[in-house]
Amino acid sequence: MHSKGVITLMAVAALSVVAAAAVSFTSGAVPVDPLAGKPVLPQVKAKPENVAKVIVKRSTGTASFVRQGDIWTVTEKSGYPADAAKVRKMLEGLAEITYVEPKTAEPGLYKRLNVEDPSAEKSQSALVEVYDGQGGALGSVIAGRRRIDELGGGNDGVYVRLPKEARSWLARGTLDLDSDIAQWLDRRIVDVGEKRTKEAVLQQSDGTSLTIARDKPEDKFAVRDLPPNRKLKSDTSMVEPATVLQAFDLTDVKGASEAAFPKDGLSTATFTTFDGLAVKVELAKLGETDWIRLSATALGDDKVKTEADTLNKRWSPWVYGIAPYKATALRTKVEDLLEPPPAPPTPPAGAQSAPATPLPQKK
């Protein structure tokens, strides 16, 4: 009898759960939103290869990325090439973000999620507009604050809102939308490694010149024509100015025709490699930024000539803004590398100085 009673109670409990579920379903419980799990930008998700233009608008400015053949360019920087990997990551993010759950539809609460109107003053949101090659719109989204998966499960999220809708959403995925336009550029200008560099000749606008050179790649750099009775601050003080072209990145860029690059008063530097590539750098201060102009000459074989031609084709349309420490290295003078000159000898203690010559008296 006891076992029959237990079985009866279990059956009644099971029927109660089913009944409760039925009541919950029919009495207004909130079902899963039909958008959950669907892409925020379905046309981008379906055919990402159709994307030919992306515009990112912020309160601080606009960055427009346009595909030109196989490369992406930045319109606001005169069509300079963009960082391909960074643009690819952005496009992947736009294709993959999916709705998770609805959030606020109250405009007064948008700022909490950074999904307010991007044109508003001090707005932290970004409006992303996506177009195909014919200018047709493929979708747009206001991207807001990121939500990091603190458990490390790879379920990072981002708050989003479609421009014409009031409802905001938590979406799964990541959008890399750097607000600094310089970070979107292909920043590497040139990279001549230390082992390849044979000689650097730095000439300043005041007429002074510094030559740093070596005979073989395994040799240490040395200062040519070191002033007599003077010593270097260290054996490595000349390495930085001699190898400034190693991993040389820009901070800004302008079209050569748009930059008022001066003709006179320039600092110049010529770097020559062991295989015969000569790179000339012209340096000028324009406003608060140091800018350079680059050109290459081949002193070696056909391989070096091809390299020089490729570099000139890349460099000639542009002038580049550079970091202050790179400009300082290019402006290095001999005196910057030397220890202070020795002080004049101190006369021995108790020694009398020569008597002063008496002044002639007036008659």
Asked if residue 246 and residue 209 are part of one domain, the reply reads yes
Asked if residue 4 belongs to a domain, the reply is no
Asked if residue 155 and residue 201 are part of one domain, the reply reads no
The mean per-residue pLDDT over the stretch 267-295 comes to: 96
Give dist(CA 111, CA 257) in Å, integer. 42
Residue 312, pLDDT > 90, answer: yes
Domain closes at, from 163, 181, 199: 181
Asked if residue 131 and residue 47 are part of one domain, the reply reads yes
Asked if residue 20 belongs to a domain, the reply is no
Number of domains in the chain: 2
Higher pLDDT, 358 or 205: 205
Asked if residue 255 and residue 153 are part of one domain, the reply reads no
Question: pLDDT exceeding 90 applies to what percent of the chain?
Answer: 74
The owner of tokens 């055919």 is: 47
Question: pLDDT by residue (tens digit) across 241-264?
Answer: 999 999 999 999 999 998 888 888
pTM here is 0.81
Question: pLDDT by residue (tens digit) across 176-202?
Answer: 999 999 999 999 999 999 999 999 999
Domain closes at, from 144, 163, 181: 181
Question: pLDDT by residue (tens digit) across 38-58?
Answer: 999 999 999 999 999 999 999
Asked if residue 151 and residue 223 are part of one domain, the reply reads no
Higher pLDDT, 322 or 363: 322
**Chain-wide mean pLDDT for the chain?**
88
Question: pLDDT by residue (tens digit) across 118-160?
Answer: 999 899 999 999 999 999 999 999 999 999 876 566 678 999 9
> Which pLDDT score, from 0 to 100, does residue 33 have?
86
Lowest mean pLDDT, pick from 222-231, 286-295, 346-355: 346-355
Asked if residue 210 and residue 78 are part of one domain, the reply reads no
Helix count and strand count (H, E) for the chain? 8, 19
Asked if residue 160 belongs to a domain, the reply is yes
Ranges of beta strands (E only) in the chain are 51-58, 61-68, 71-74, 80-81, 98-102, 126-132, 137-147, 157-161, 168-172, 188-190, 197-203, 209-213, 222-223, 248-249, 252-255, 267-273, 277-286, 289-298, 318-322
Question: pLDDT exceeding 70 applies to what percent of the chain?
Answer: 86
Asked if residue 96 and residue 164 are part of one domain, the reply reads yes
Residue 18, pLDDT > 90, answer: no
Question: pLDDT by residue (tens digit) across 86-113?
Answer: 999 999 999 999 999 999 999 999 999 9
Asked if residue 363 belongs to a domain, the reply is no
Asked if residue 69 belongs to a domain, the reply is yes
Asked if residue 309 belongs to a domain, the reply is yes
Give dist(CA 329, CA 296) in Å, integer. 20
Asked if residue 297 and residue 239 are part of one domain, the reply reads yes
Residue type, 356: A
Asked if residue 300 belongs to a domain, the reply is yes
Give dist(CA 12, CA 18) in Å, integer. 10
> Which pLDDT score, from 0 to 100, does residue 11 have?
44
Asked if residue 245 and residue 111 are part of one domain, the reply reads no
Could you tell me the two tokens for 296? 């290459």
Asked if residue 52 and residue 117 are part of one domain, the reply reads yes
Asked if residue 194 and residue 171 are part of one domain, the reply reads no
Q: Domain span at residue 67?
A: 42-181
Asked if residue 21 belongs to a domain, the reply is no
Residue 280, pLDDT > 60, answer: yes
Domain closes at, from 181, 208, 243: 181
> Which pLDDT score, from 0 to 100, does residue 336 have?
95
Asked if residue 158 and residue 278 are part of one domain, the reply reads no
Residue 16, pLDDT > 50, answer: no
